C-alpha cells in the first residue's frame, strides 16, 4: 500500500474525476462546483492544482451556484490538505462536520447471519425503490430500533428521478449495489462506485445502511466486506467515510485502516 500522502492524493484525484461523467464543473473562486442532475448531486470541492486559498466569498459563490441549479448545498474537502476551508465554510453560515476516512487494508471476509442472502442488484430490478427506501429510513433514523417503528419501507416515497439515475449508473457500471435479503425483504444495502483515475481504478464505498430494527447483527459489516471483495476485483484502492468514530471502529474490525478525516459542510 502506498504511503499516506500518496493515498490522500489518490483520493483527491478520485473526487475530482468522479463527477465528470455526470456534471459540468463551474468555478467559484478556488472551488470546483459540479452542476448536473439534482437526482445525483456532487459536493463542491477545492480545486486541485491551485495554491489559492478558499475564502468565504468562494463558499458563498459555490452555495449560490448550487441553489440556482436546485442542488443541495454541500462542500467536501480533506482538512489535512486544505485546513483553511473549515473556517471559510463556517463564516459563510455552513455547518461543518469531520468524519473518519478509512481505506481497505487487510479485508476480512465475513459471513452474514443465517437466513440472510446477499445479492448484486441489477439495473432492471423491480424492487430497487424498496432497496433505496431501506437506505432512506436508516439514515433518517440513526438511533436504531427505538428511533423508528419496524415497518416495510414504502417505495412510493422514493423519488422516481433518483431511482432512474441509479438504474442508469448500475447499467453503465458506475455504481455497484448490493442488498441483503431476509425472509423476502431487504434489510441492508450498500454501494461502491469505481472510477478510472488516470489508469488506476479507485472505488468509494458509500450508502451502507441497515434497517434500524435489525442493527447489531453484523449486516452492515457483512455488506462492507462483500463490497470490498467485489471492488478489489478491479480497483487498486477502496475507501469509505464512516459516520462517526464508533462506526469507524466497526469497519476497522473488518479490515479497514484509519487514514485521515474528511470534512463535509452544508446548511444548518
Confidence of residue 141 (pLDDT cuts 50, 70, 90): low
Q: Which residues pair with 27 in a beta bridge?
A: 32
Q: All domains of the chain, ordered by start, with CATH? A: 4-100 (no CATH), 116-231 (3.40.630.30)
Confidence of residue 214 (pLDDT cuts 50, 70, 90): low
Stronger pLDDT, 217 or 59, i.e. the higher one:
59
What is the C-alpha separation between 26 and 35, in angstroms, rounded? 7
For 217-233, the pLDDT digits (tens) are: 778 888 899 999 999 99
Residue 26 neighbours by CB distance under 10 Å:
17
Please give the pLDDT value at position 253. Answer: 85
What is the C-alpha separation between 105 and 173, in angstroms, rounded? 24
Please, what is the Cα angle at 81 between 80 and 87, to 5 degrees? 75
Per-residue pLDDT for 90 more than 90?
yes
C-alpha pair distances (Å), 241 with each of 19, 158, 263:
18, 24, 10
Q: What percent of the chain has pLDDT over 70?
A: 91
Per-residue pLDDT for 181 more than 70?
yes
Please give the pLDDT value at position 189. Answer: 95
What is the C-alpha separation between 246 and 252, in angstroms, rounded? 10
Residue 54 neighbours by CB distance under 10 Å:
26
Residues 6+ apart with CB under 8 A from 130: 152, 153, 155, 185, 186
Burial of 117 (0-12, 13-18, 19+ CB in 10 A): exposed
Q: What is the DSSP letter of 44?
A: B
Q: Which residues pair with 25 in a beta bridge?
A: 34
pTM confidence score: 0.88
Q: What percent of the chain has pLDDT over 90?
A: 74
Residue appearing with cell numbers 462506485 = 193
Amino acid at each position: 500500500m502506498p504511503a499516506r500522502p500518496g493515498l490522500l492524493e489518490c483520493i483527491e484525484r478520485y473526487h475530482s474525476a468522479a463527477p465528470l461523467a455526470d456534471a459540468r464543473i463551474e468555478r467559484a473562486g478556488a472551488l470546483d462546483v459540479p452542476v448536473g442532475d439534482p437526482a445525483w448531486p456532487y459536493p463542491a470541492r477545492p480545486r486541485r492544482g491551485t495554491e489559492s486559498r478558499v475564502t468565504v466569498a468562494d463558499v458563498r459563490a459555490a452555495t449560490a451556484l448550487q441553489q440556482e441549479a436546485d442542488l443541495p448545498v454541500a462542500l467536501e474537502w480533506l482538512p489535512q490538505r486544505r485546513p483553511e476551508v473549515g473556517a471559510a465554510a463556517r463564516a459563510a453560515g455552513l455547518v461543518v462536520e469531520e468524519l473518519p476516512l478509512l481505506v481497505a487494508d487487510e479485508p476480512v471476509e465475513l459471513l452474514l447471519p443465517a437466513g440472510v442472502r446477499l445479492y448484486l442488484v441489477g439495473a432492471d430490478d423491480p424492487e430497487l425503490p424498496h432497496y433505496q427506501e431501506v437506505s432512506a429510513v436508516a439514515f433518517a433514523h440513526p438511533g436504531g430500533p427505538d428511533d423508528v417503528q419496524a415497518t416495510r419501507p414504502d417505495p412510493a416515497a422514493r423519488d422516481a428521478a433518483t431511482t432512474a439515475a441509479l438504474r442508469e449508473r448500475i447499467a453503465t457500471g458506475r455504481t455497484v449495489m448490493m442488498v441483503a435479503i431476509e425472509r423476502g425483504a431487504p434489510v441492508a444495502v450498500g454501494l461502491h462506485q469505481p472510477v478510472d483515475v488516470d489508469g488506476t481504478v479507485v472505488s468509494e464505498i458509500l450508502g451502507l445502511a441497515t434497517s434500524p430494527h435489525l442493527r447489531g447483527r453484523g449486516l452492515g459489516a457483512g455488506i462492507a466486506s462483500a463490497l470490498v471483495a467485489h471492488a478489489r476485483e478491479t480497483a487498486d484502492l477502496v475507501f469509505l467515510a464512516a459516520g462517526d468514530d464508533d462506526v469507524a471502529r466497526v469497519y476497522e474490525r473488518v479490515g479497514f485502516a484509519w487514514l485521515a478525516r474528511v470534512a463535509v459542510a452544508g446548511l444548518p
